[in-house]
Amino acid sequence: MPLDTSNDSLELIGGKGKSLARMARAGFSVPTGFHLTTAAYKRFVDRNGLQSKILELANRKSAASPLFRQASNNIRNLFDQAEVSDDIVSEMTTAYTALDGDDPAVLSDHRQMLKICRNCRLLASKRPT
């Protein structure tokens, strides 16, 4: 979904996404990008069985506790090892392709990254261990 989307409901793109969309539409300088919908995120979490693992790791950890950092690292590792499904890769590839725009400097960078991403299934959907 385009970063400056007018369809910026909290349920669709989340709180940070909504704020970014509003800033982009208002003309503020925001990084080039796109929104991954909350539905795509939920599909990713569901297909990889992450929800219960995340809740178990995050259960009753205070941000001040040393266990919080370990829980955070463990949750990050769950995401790093998870598989991104073909439908989400396809959606992200389409969104990334749409970033090309008309700016020659940006266009070159995005085309190079897209070429790399196509070869590694969009930012290496499964990161190397």
- For 6-20, the pLDDT digits (tens) are 887 878 888 888 898
Q: What is the number of helices (H) and of strands (E) in the chain?
A: 7, 0
pLDDT at 46: 95
Average pLDDT value over all residues in the chain: 77
Q: Domain-by-domain residue ranges, the chain? A: 1-35
Contact criterion met (CB below 8 Å) for 81 and 129 = yes
Read off the amino acid at residue 86.
Answer: D
For the chain, report the end-to-end CA distance as a whole number of angstroms.
30
pTM score: 0.67
Contact criterion met (CB below 8 Å) for 32 and 22 = no
Greater model confidence, 65 or 102: 65
